[in-house]
Amino acid sequence: MAETKTEWTVDDVAARFADAAETAHKLPRVRPCGYFNPWMTLAMQVPERYPDPERLYRPMPPSPQAVERMLETMRWVQWLEVEQRHLVWMRSNRYRWEQIGRRFACDRNTAARRWNKAISLVLLHLNHPQICRPKAMSQGG
């Protein structure tokens, strides 16, 4: 399941985060269980014969391999601080640097530097797992 690479790069990690964001958007919506209304099924049969050009169509669900890669990428996020997680996730969702800078109350260049720092931290954990210990172990006790 987990992809074994000898050496990860910034582009590899950024592409994996972008792929995880895209996969997350393709997942089906979460709905409450136990509710059933057959009336909408009957009411929607006639309009479905003539596709509505304004109707929002959901993409095909992601493959199981894409979901596994997404879950692996989500485990990487645990190595980051909360603000870094938001920053990496916003960039993975293709927000512009100006929008990210506005969200974090900084300049776009500062946001890009903080993103690079967060990605380098993930790279450090991926490329050198023996030097990176979990936070609970490094705090002693």
Which tokens in the block code for residue 111? Answer: 């946001």
Does residue 12 register a pLDDT over 60? Answer: yes
pTM, entire model: 0.74
**Mean pLDDT score of the chain:** 83
For residue range 53-76, list pLDDT tens digits in order.
Answer: 666 666 688 999 999 999 999 999
> Taking the mean position of all CA atoms in its chain, how far away is CA 134?
22
Q: What pLDDT is stored for residue 1 in this prediction?
A: 47
48 found inside a domain? no
Task: Report the number of distinct structural domains present in the chain.
Answer: 1
124 found inside a domain? yes
Strands of the chain (E only): list them. none
Distance CA 113, CA 106 (A): 11
What 3-state DSSP class applies to 44?
coil
122 found inside a domain? yes
Residues 6+ apart with CB under 8 A from 118: 80, 84, 87, 88
Select from 57, 60, 72, 56 the least CA-distant residue to 26: 60
118 found inside a domain? yes
Q: What pLDDT is stored for residue 113 in this prediction?
A: 97
Q: Which domain holds residue 69?
A: 10-26+59-133
For residue range 15-48, list pLDDT tens digits in order.
Answer: 999 999 999 998 887 777 766 656 555 555 555 5
